[in-house]
Amino acid sequence: MSKYHSKKITIDGITYDSKKEARRHQELLLLERAGEITNLERQVKFTLIPAQREYTNEIYTKGRKKGCFKPGKLLERECAYIADFVYREGDRCVVEDTKGFRTPEYIIKRKLMLHNFGIRIKEV
């Protein structure tokens, strides 16, 4: 049980974060079969802020990366948003999240999705 009282559930070998997400996926699968939507995907990652690394001028001397700069020490991990569902509805791309509770972290990521990609997340 998570701190927001959602309970993971597995249906047909697919594990969902909540019953609500599982139910919505079943609805979207029906819509896809009916031709209402296309290209349905689950758990699509959007990088909002890439990892931040320390500058280095070290270069690989062998291997397939020979001549390329080595990555510097990791200062900050990337910030990413993982959408529950992404699909096409006609010529429009829809990014959807099944929300039970809007955390402060989610609200910031929702704003970054709009700012970085011009995508408004559809909350169900």
State the CB neighbour count (10 A cutoff) for residue 62: 7
The predicted model scores a pTM of 0.85
More confident residue, 46 or 7: 46
Percentage of the chain beyond pLDDT 70 is 96
C-alpha 69/C-alpha 21 separation (Å) is 42
Radius of gyration of the chain (CA): 19
Q: What is the mean pLDDT of the chain?
A: 93
Give pLDDT tens digits for 24-38: 999 999 999 999 999
Sign of the Cα torsion 85, 109, 105, 76 reads positive
3-state secondary structure at position 98:
coil
Give pLDDT tens digits for 94-121: 999 998 889 999 999 999 999 999 999 9
Where is 48: in which H helix or E strand?
strand 38-49
Instruction: Report phi then psi at 19, rounded to 5.
Output: -65, -35
C-alpha 93/C-alpha 80 separation (Å) is 19
pLDDT at 55 over 70: yes
The predicted model gives 4-30 an average pLDDT of 90
State the CB neighbour count (10 A cutoff) for residue 42: 15
**Widest CA span in the chain:** 55
Percentage of the chain beyond pLDDT 90 is 86
Where is 30: in which H helix or E strand?
helix 19-33
